[in-house]
Structure 1
């Protein structure tokens, strides 16, 4: 029997549904950012280390987002950007509506279980970070996914 997209659903519509959660167009990304308020940043770095994993969350905080730092390293750092650090998404209360990942692409799978448990609306993998299998798993779980895009650049982008 051939799978067809039907109003009742079926295999073709399920396939289309999860794929529609993989976002990559400017207007889609602007919508994601405009609807987010609380962002958990996995892999954030302290000010003395610097780099994009510090200045992008700092920019987003200055733009009005609440940042929840979830560093992977720096066990002695108890606070970043004026907020207490949290060591796992499971401990983020209230839950974040967007998870921003600053991890190498190969390290993304080690965060899959905690991301699924936290069930954020969106997972955003920063510029240069992508993982097709993790993105598909998240999208099939109903989580919107952005890959290989800088949240700061997209936030700054002028919109018509």
Structure 2
């Protein structure tokens, strides 16, 4: 991967090779995020990821044709990306890998700069089309989890302890055995 963290044809199909600098650059460079597959159900991942991103200051636009015209978290829901009044910076794909191809094509047409496919969602052909159109692509990652990991919200064992890393006590002998 080049030092600036950009994804090339060589690395586009290997999400394990995304550098922290690359992911930080993507997350710091976007302000508006369209969440395709948005849900109003608070136990669904798309709902709590959307809420988390909104609470972090991102402008969120829920996309779900079944909920179009309604609101989620007080935000108007649109049927598709083509219905948006302005292009989002990023499209967060909460659809399966096969459906991610069509969503990616809509993101390209809508003028998005980033396509982010959620955990378990990977479509190499769609990623290649997006990259050829000049978009940045992230696959098989969750922006909520990446923000938490990159900015210190998740502790050593994957738990938010609400303690800053610099103020955390050293692990005990018992704890060290667990990790």
Could you state the TM-score of these two structures normalised by the residue count of structure 2? 0.72
Which residue of the partner structure matches residue 26 of structure 2? 32
TM-score by length of 1: 0.80
Structure 1 residues 107-139: Cα deviation after superposition (integer angstroms, max 9, x where no partner): 112223322211211000011110000000100
SS at match of 1:46: coil
Matched position secondary structure for 2:88 = coil
User: Where do 4+ consecutive residues of structure 1 move more than 3 Å?
Assistant: 20-23, 72-75
**Do the aligned residues in 1 keep the contact of 2:105 with 2:130 (CA within 8 Å)?**
no
Counterpart of 2:160? none
Q: Output one character per residue of 1:71-98: Cα deviation in whole Å (capped at 9) or x when no partner.
A: 14345x6111211011111121221101
Matched with 1:143 is 135
Do 2:92 and 2:115's aligned partners in 1 also have CA atoms closer than 8 Å?
Answer: yes
Counterpart Cα distance in 2 of 1:138 and 1:53: 22
Q: Secondary structure at the match of 1:67?
A: strand
Q: Which residue of 1 aligns with 2:120?
A: 128
Report the equivalent of 2:177.
none
Alignment of 1:53-132 (within 5 A): 53-74=46-67, 78-132=70-124
Where does 1:15-54 land on structure 2 (aligned, <5 Å)? Answer: 18-19=8-9, 22=12, 24-48=18-42, 50-54=43-47
Q: How big is the shift at 1:38?
A: 0.5
Q: Which structure has the larger Rg over C-alpha atoms?
A: 2
8 A contact 2:20–2:150 mirrored in 1: no
Query: Unaligned 5+ residue runs, structure 1?
Result: 1-15
Structure 2's unaligned 5+ residue stretches are 1-5, 153-179
SS in structure 1 of the partner of residue 95 of structure 2: coil
Q: Distance in 2 between matches of 1:17 and 1:111?
A: 20
Quote the residue 2:146 is aligned against. 154
Matches of 1:21 and 1:122, distance apart in 2? 16
Q: How many residues align?
A: 143
1:47 Cα deviation from its structure 2 partner = 3.1
